[in-house]
């Protein structure tokens, strides 16, 4: 066994980095604040673009971490920098002496209640992308009862100065197209509309799925942001938008509106960042030492970052980032502990 590495966050980035570092021979300790590993992936049903079940992907990630010391329901209580390592006190009473710390704190979904004009939490027929995914996973939601007209509102809480987030969340255009197709499969007679500002579908085969949504499933894409939602006397929704292609305001009556809530920096991650005095960018995501050359190193020696802790990422990007972070950790530890005899001795003393 080599050095000890603490990984904070048991979502896809934390799981993948744990598996890689364990394979390299490190002693990996993974902590997750919630009772279950998997992060948002554990709540998702199927993934874009090939509809692979999220459970299958998560199962593979979990299998990779066999042998890693995992503590769920566990957070960081205190962290102190020593000479070349960190003394980390966990909320489960254990203290870890770690030679490197990898923060994989992920993201939070934007709280759609904050966009009051969209009526989430006010009108029953307004739900979020996460709610709809839970419906696909469980097969039940009282809000979904053979809807005749379904709308998807893109960019909810993203690319929106008023909502405090200028950046794009990267995954919600793809999720909207995937969910629009899935709703057409479940309710073939339904009319499905996507209200978008511009479609950001940059991954391989993503464009094909968008064309398929139009040609095979008849999903209608309307270029325009939803401005306001209200309820008609019969309980349906009246959605006002601006059709920016036709240059006209638009009113559509819907039975169900799905809000594509975007990504936000993790609130739990911010607590870790404050303990470490780790710098964040203006938008709240953690700053890296260099966006091109060292995208997984924080400006603090021995502290590394992976996944959505540094900004919105797709799942494939998150996994690739986690692997890169594992390599950066390995490179760092090789630099500061060049003498294998020394660190074997150190590990012996510490465990």
| Residues found near ligand SF4 in the complex (CB under 6 A) | 154-155, 158-159, 168-170, 172-173, 197, 200, 260, 262
- Residue whose C-alpha is closest to residue 102's, from 139, 76, 141: 76
Distance CA 230, CA 207 (A): 33
* Residue 149 CB, nearest approach to ligand SF4 (Å): 20
Q: End-to-end CA distance of the chain, in Å? A: 11
* Residue 201 CB, nearest approach to ligand SF4 (Å): 8
* Residue 317 CB, nearest approach to ligand SF4 (Å): 13
Residue 234 structure tokens: 């019969």
**Residue number, 2 or 154, with CB nearest to ligand SF4:** 154
* Longest CA–CA separation in the chain, Å: 77
Residue 273 makes CB contacts below 8 A (sequence gap 6+) with: 103, 280, 286
**Residue number, 108 or 231, with CB nearest to ligand SF4:** 108
| Cα torsion 44, 288, 346, 275: sign | negative
**Residue number, 37 or 239, with CB nearest to ligand SF4:** 239
Q: What element of type H or E holds 19?
A: helix 12-23
* Residue 180 CB, nearest approach to ligand SF4 (Å): 12
CB 100 within 8 A of CB 79: no
3-class secondary-structure state, position 230: strand
**Residue number, 14 or 311, with CB nearest to ligand SF4:** 311
Distance CA 81, CA 24 (A): 24
- Residue whose C-alpha is closest to residue 14's, from 301, 317, 326, 333: 326
**Residue number, 297 or 313, with CB nearest to ligand SF4:** 313
Residue 348 structure tokens: 């012996």
**Residue number, 256 or 333, with CB nearest to ligand SF4:** 256
192 to 29, 124, 218: CA distances (angstroms): 46, 18, 8
**Residue number, 27 or 158, with CB nearest to ligand SF4:** 158
* Residue 114 CB, nearest approach to ligand SF4 (Å): 15
* Residue 263 CB, nearest approach to ligand SF4 (Å): 8
* Residue 197 CB, nearest approach to ligand SF4 (Å): 6
**Residue number, 169 or 298, with CB nearest to ligand SF4:** 169
* Residue 250 CB, nearest approach to ligand SF4 (Å): 18
Give me the residue label for tokens 């990007």: 317
| Cα torsion 270, 276, 282, 286: sign | negative
């Amino acid at each position: 066994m080599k050095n000890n590495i603490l990984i904070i966050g048991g979502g896809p980035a934390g799981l993948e980095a744990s598996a890689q570092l364990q394979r390299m021979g490190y002693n990996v300790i993974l902590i997750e604040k919630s009772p279950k590993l998997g992060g948002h992936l554990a709540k998702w049903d199927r993934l874009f673009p090939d509809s692979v079940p999220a459970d299958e992907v998560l199962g593979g990630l979990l299998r990779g971490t066999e042998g890693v010391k995992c503590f769920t329901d566990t957070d960081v209580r205190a962290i102190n920098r020593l000479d070349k390592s960190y003394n980390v006190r966990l909320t489960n009473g254990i203290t870890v002496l770690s030679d490197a710390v990898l923060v994989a704190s992920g993201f939070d979904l934007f709280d759609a209640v904050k966009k009051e004009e969209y009526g989430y939490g006010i009108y029953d027929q307004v739900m979020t992308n996460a709610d709809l995914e839970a419906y696909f996973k469980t097969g039940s939601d009282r809000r979904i009862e053979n809807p005749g007209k379904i709308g998807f509102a893109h960019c909810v809480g993203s690319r929106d100065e008023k909502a405090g987030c200028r950046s794009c969340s990267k995954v919600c255009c793809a999720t909207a197209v995937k969910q629009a197709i899935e709703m057409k499969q479940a309710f073939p007679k339904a009319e499905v509309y996507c209200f978008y500002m511009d479609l950001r579908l940059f991954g391989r085969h993503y464009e094909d799925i968008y064309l398929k949504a139009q040609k095979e499933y008849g999903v209608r894409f309307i270029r325009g942001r939803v401005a306001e939602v209200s309820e008609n006397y019969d309980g349906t929704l009246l959605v006002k938008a601006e059709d920016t292609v036709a240059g006209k305001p638009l009113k559509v009556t819907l039975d169900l509106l799905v809000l594509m809530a975007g990504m936000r920096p993790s609130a739990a991650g911010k607590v870790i960042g404050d303990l470490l005095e780790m710098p964040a960018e203006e938008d709240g995501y953690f700053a890296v030492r260099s966006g091109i050359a060292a995208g997984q190193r924080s400006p603090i020696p021995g502290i590394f970052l992976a996944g959505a802790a540094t900004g919105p990422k797709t799942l494939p990007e998150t996994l690739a980032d986690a692997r890169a972070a594992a390599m950066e950790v390995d490179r760092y530890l090789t630099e500061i502990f060049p003498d294998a005899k020394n660190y074997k001795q150190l590990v012996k003393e510490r465990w």
